[in-house]
Amino acid sequence: MSGHLDEIKDAVIDGKHKEIEDLVKAAIEDNVNINEIVNDAMITAMDVVGQKFADKEIFVPEMLVSAVTVKKGLGLIKPLLKGKETEPRGTIIMCTVKGDIHDIGKNLVIMMLEGAGFHVIDLGVDLTVEKLIQEVEKMKPNILGLSALLTTTMPEMKKVIEELKAQELRDRVKVMVGGAPVNAAFAEKIGADAYGKDAVEAVRISRRFVGQTEPFPL
């Protein structure tokens, strides 16, 4: 691993939010691959942070400072991912489900989708089923993306899908689910259309889905 990647990874683990931007800038200037900065330095660092939290070596405040550090770093990466397409490929609503405020993964997926030319409506975190259904009816997206990082909030994804069915909207929108505790078997069990393992996979799936839904009534 290049020295830059080690430095960025350590800065995230140690929550050095004042230093992260200079470190990421330096890596970009030295032509370090952006995917490596994100995957091999930042995401790997968050896994270390998660393990330290599980082992009770650190607590919520430290985990939060690491999250802030990643967000600042990603802020510099975002403009570099912007795509060249002028016509949006399709519309995607993204959010983290009710009871869950983790948003780094969701934001990363959004950055990649926007870079690939999708119009993404970010509804943020802790989204109620009711609000989501309202937004689907109003914004008529091709795809609804749901993220969850807690095992306790995964059932919210099922609730959303059931409510889409109850409101006769299920055929009009593809549902993609993702987040660390989610897997393909869970996605299938709750009736989602796809499980996105990571941001790259989410883009691949979204490309496949656009144009495959029944249009919303006018």
Contact residues for ligand B1M (CB under 6 A)?
Answer: 43, 46-47, 49-50, 53-54, 60, 63-64, 67, 99-106, 108-109, 145-147, 149-151, 176-181, 196, 198-199, 202
What is the full DSSP assignment across 200-211? HHHHHHHHHHTT
Quote the least distance from Cβ 152 to ligand B1M, whole Å: 6
Q: Which is nearer to ligand B1M, 30 or 208 (CB)?
A: 208
Q: Which is nearer to ligand B1M, 88 or 99 (CB)?
A: 99
Q: Whose CA is closest to 64, among 41, 40, 46?
A: 46
Place of tokens 């869950």: 100
Q: Whose CA is closest to 194, among 184, 204, 208, 180?
A: 184
Beta strands across the sheet bearing 119-122: 119-122, 91-96, 143-147, 174-178, 194-196
Q: Which is nearer to ligand B1M, 125 or 218 (CB)?
A: 125
Quote the least distance from Cβ 127 to ligand B1M, whole Å: 12
First to last CA, the chain: 54
Quote the least distance from Cβ 218 to ligand B1M, whole Å: 27
CB closest to ligand B1M, residue no = 105
Q: Which is nearer to ligand B1M, 30 or 35 (CB)?
A: 35
